[in-house]
Amino acid sequence: MSYLPLKVVWTIELTKRQEKILAIAKEEGPITGEQIAEKLNLTRATLRPDLAILTMAGFLDARPRVGYIFAGNNSNQLLEREIKKRRVKDYKAVPVCIGESTSVYDAVVTMFLEDVGTLFVVKEKGVLAGVVSRKDLLKVAIGKQDLQTIPVSVVMTRMPNIITCDPEESLYDAAKKLIDYQIDALPVVRETEEGSKALEVIGRVTKTTITKAYVELGSMLNI
Ligand code: ADP
């Protein structure tokens, strides 16, 4: 059997014959290649490349000793599967964290040095205490206070009001949170102990993370 790369398979349009094969599998599956060939008045050998393409593209399921089963009817289902299988843990970036007593001035410097727009504020052992965004810092910066003496804990959004995500969560659900709550970043967290309210920061998902995954998906589908 010759294999076509998935990239090619995903973007091709189905031929009339491939559509017929799918219709037969949908109606009568599981059905063997021989039986499909008979119905179409073709030889098994003629059909082989079509069956290979449909199987690799995810339209058909080939079960050994059982036959072909219809698995999906359009590329939307493939796209849906691709989107749903992406997990936060596979895309998360390294979190940039500061302590609660860090000054607003040092937080601004950290944002520039680390090239991020959101900082996570943590207690001992990386336990999440707050989130500081660009705007939080700008707000204090336009005041008259001495930025060297104000701790970030004064301006941060604090627990329990922080929207977080779990490493096992789908990247799609994380992206939805960014949109729904109108924020730029989510800390990726895990419970320090089973059932504990203390959450350890283990990563970061931002709008950049989502954009990267989006572009990756696009190039994978050969857009
Ligand atoms: P910007 O400063 O660019 O507007 P965001 O839109 O991310 O950045 O932040 C808006 C507000 O939401 C800020 O006050 C920030 O502290 C808060 N915030 C940011 N991220 C979170 C989060 N994950 N959970 C809760 N609040 C957040």
Element (H, E) at 62: strand 60-63
Distance CA(130)–CA(109), nearest Å, equals 18
Ligand 1, atom nearest to 182 Cα: 6
Give the model's pLDDT for residue 2: 45
* Beta-carbon count within 10 A of 41 CB: 7
Q: Is 131 in the pocket of ligand 1 (CB under 6 A)?
A: yes
List 157's β-bridge partners, or say none: 131
Give the model's pLDDT for residue 140: 94
Residue labelled with tokens 């973007």: 11
Q: Is there a contact between 147 and 154 (Cβ–Cβ < 8 Å)?
A: no
Per-residue DSSP letter, 116: -
Q: Is there a contact between 125 and 200 (Cβ–Cβ < 8 Å)?
A: yes
Domains of the chain with CATH codes: 16-78 (1.10.10.10), 88-214 (3.10.580.10)
Instruction: Please tell me the residue having the least CA distance from ligand 1 atom 1.
Output: 135
Distance CA(162)–CA(151), nearest Å, equals 19
Q: Is 21 in the pocket of ligand 1 (CB under 6 A)?
A: no
Q: Is 158 in the pocket of ligand 1 (CB under 6 A)?
A: no
Instruction: Please tell me the residue having the least CA distance from ligand 1 atom 4.
Output: 135
Give the model's pLDDT for residue 4: 47
Give the model's pLDDT for residue 1: 44
**What tens-digit pLDDT sequence spans the chain (223 residues)?**
444 444 444 455 789 999 999 999 999 989 999 999 999 999 999 999 999 999 988 889 899 889 999 987 566 667 777 888 899 999 999 999 999 999 999 999 999 999 999 999 999 999 999 999 999 999 999 998 999 999 999 999 999 999 999 999 999 999 999 999 999 999 999 999 888 889 999 999 999 999 999 999 888 776 5
Cis previous bond, 95, omega within 30: no
